[in-house]
Amino acid sequence: MSSYTSISPDKLARLIGTAHTPVLVDVRTDEDFDADPRVIPNAVRRSHSDTDGWVGLLTGRAVVVICHKGKKLSEGTAAWLRHANVSAETLEGGFEGWKNAKLPLVPASKLPARDAQGRTVWVTRARPKIDRIACPWLIRRFIDPNAVFLFVAPSEVIAVGERFNAVPFDIENVFWSHRGELCTFDVMIEEFGLATPPLLRLATMVRAADTGRLDLSPEAPGLLAASLGLSRMYDDDLEQLEAGIALYDAFYRWCRDATGETHNWPAHKAKP
């Protein structure tokens, strides 16, 4: 049973992918990490022995600390964080408890290197429509909530990536791109180990709208219309991205929680 200083894997899984995801700190030892080099979505690895060096980054944030089995390392680290006035919980059962619950795990080998501020940096073509909004949403919600996205002229994506240590995506001849009938969003879900039923349903919507195969998903025309509408509303790609994040938050929650719900009018029909 969860205490006020711990959270169950199932409860944490409901928070990941939403705007209310806590900061996830993985304090497993190098030996435990090397035995299974994957991380819980959005988790960042830090050393339990250097808490004073990074606790200042967490002021005012809700934090969940993860160790191998949810015992001494996470308990001690969370206690130190609370001592520093950070709201910190431990994950019940730790990494092993999450894995035993068969919840998603991201291969660390697929994660880009982080910059000096601890952020992943990505670059793609300017004037995004669908895939180039959906992919940043996925990254922000499941990989790195502080990820930076650079939108540049199509001809400069590769060069900008090289000069600014940014990962190119959704252009030809790069790793994070379309593959056959799959769009970049599909590829990211597969490569990052995030193939849950809600995300797979959302991926079908994105693929249908992004590739003009609207017959694949009855919701795809609505996603296409909303995406094109946003592109007309915003001249600034970053402003459009922030609006698009909210859009995909709504579609994800529908895919996860509301596909069986209907809405009828009038609300109160007279009984015959």
pLDDT digits (tens, 9 = 90+) for 232-267: 999 999 999 999 999 999 999 999 999 999 888 877
For residues 141 and 189, the answer to whether their CB atoms sit within 8 Å is no
Burial string for 112-148 (b: 16+ CB within 10 Å, else e) reads beeeeeeebbbbbbeebbbbbbbbbbbbbbbbbeebe
- Please give the single-letter amino acid code of residue 124: T
Looking at residue 237, its pLDDT comes to: 98
Q: How far apart are CA 256 and CA 197, in angstroms?
A: 8
> Residue 214 is encoded by which pair of tokens?
């609207």
Looking at residue 192, its pLDDT comes to: 98
Q: For 123, phi and psi rounded to 5 degrees?
A: -140, 140
Looking at residue 11, its pLDDT comes to: 97
Q: Please state, as a whole number, how many other Cβ atoms lie within 10 Å of the Cβ of residue 39.
A: 23
- Please give the single-letter amino acid code of residue 171: I
Predicted structure pTM score: 0.94
For residues 208 and 220, the answer to whether their CB atoms sit within 8 Å is yes
Could you tell me the residue ranges of all domains in the chain? 6-108, 112-258
pLDDT in tens, 148-160: 999 999 999 999 9
Looking at residue 266, its pLDDT comes to: 77
- Helices then strands, counting H and E runs in the chain, come out as 11, 10
Q: How far apart are CA 192 and CA 16, in angstroms?
A: 14
For residues 220 and 205, the answer to whether their CB atoms sit within 8 Å is yes
Q: How far apart are CA 28 and CA 105, in angstroms?
A: 15
> Residue 134 is encoded by which pair of tokens?
């959906």
158 Cβ contact list (under 8 Å, min separation 6)? 168, 171, 174
> Residue 215 is encoded by which pair of tokens?
């017959």
For residues 158 and 172, the answer to whether their CB atoms sit within 8 Å is no
Looking at residue 263, its pLDDT comes to: 85
> Residue 250 is encoded by which pair of tokens?
């709504």
Q: How far apart are CA 141 and CA 139, in angstroms?
A: 6
Residue stretches of the chain with pLDDT short of 70 = 1-3, 268-272
For residues 46 and 40, the answer to whether their CB atoms sit within 8 Å is no
Burial string for 229-263 (b: 16+ CB within 10 Å, else e) reads ebbeebeebeebbeebbebbbebbebbbeeeeeee
Nearest CA to 120 among 133, 134, 102, 108? 108
Looking at residue 4, its pLDDT comes to: 78
CATH architecture type of domain 6-108: 3-Layer(aba) Sandwich (3.40)
